[in-house]
Amino acid sequence: MRRVAVKIAYLGEDYSGSQYQPDFKTVVGDVIADLKRISEGKAAKWFNIKIAGRTDKGVNALNNVVVFNTTFDNDDTLLKALNSVSRRIFYRMIATVDEKFNPRHASERVYKYTLPSEGVDFTKIKECTKLFIDEHDFIRFCKNDGKSTIVKLSSIETVFEDDKIIIMFRSQYFLRNMIRKIVAAILAVGKGERTINDIKEALNGKPINFGLARADALTLVDVIYDYIRFKIPSKNYYNNRINQERFSNCLKTDFFDSL
């Protein structure tokens, strides 16, 4: 037996969140089901699964990290087996870790939020993002669960791409709903519904509710560990699934373009 960390990707629309919930479809629930299919009937507890990023319902991930026990010795064989049985999760990269490794203790997390550019002042958007960089009390920009609300945002980058505005967030960790609440505030200013001063006052503790931005536009891009090197498999074991999904999306696009 050994313990491995695997980077996974998934669309959030398929799930009620990443954390295991017995009566709901979740990311960890699907990982457990996939592992059981390739592991000769081992019980769920045997895998001792842990996950790095706790994504909410609807939030996507390109490189979340799950850690579990396995009897597979070969990395490629394990990733091939998991991708062959999985319907919703893409198992991308792998690293062997020790038993004490906690995936929650990452060096950095990277998130991307995508906004439509129509009707939004891009200059104001960029000006707003600068207010959140560095250390602040984000109590007005999170769902407070009793933890400290002091967080240091390493960087926020904003780019205009085609008809979209893409905002990249980097920090060692984020609070629950933090990015979606920040984006809701930024978007409100960009549309002229709120002022930059409103954001400044909220960062200083004034109880202002900017709302919550949609979940499906948020993607966990990566979870980074400075001390771990993940191995990319020798072959893409989910390329056929990607092509099928792309074709399905093309059919939907064609339908909407025809309206």
Active site residues: 56
Q: What is the token pair recorded at 178?
A: 């933090």
Question: Counting Cβ atoms within 10 Å, is residue 22 exposed (0-12), middle (13-18) or buried (19+)?
Answer: exposed
**N-terminal to C-terminal alpha carbon distance within the chain:** 55
Which candidate, 58, 3, 2, places its Cα nearest to that of 27? Answer: 58
Residues whose CB is less than 8 angstroms from the CB of residue 132 and which lie 6 or more positions away in sequence, other chains included: 141, 153, 156, 182, 203
Angle between helical axes of 27-38 and 75-85 (0-180°, round to 10): 110
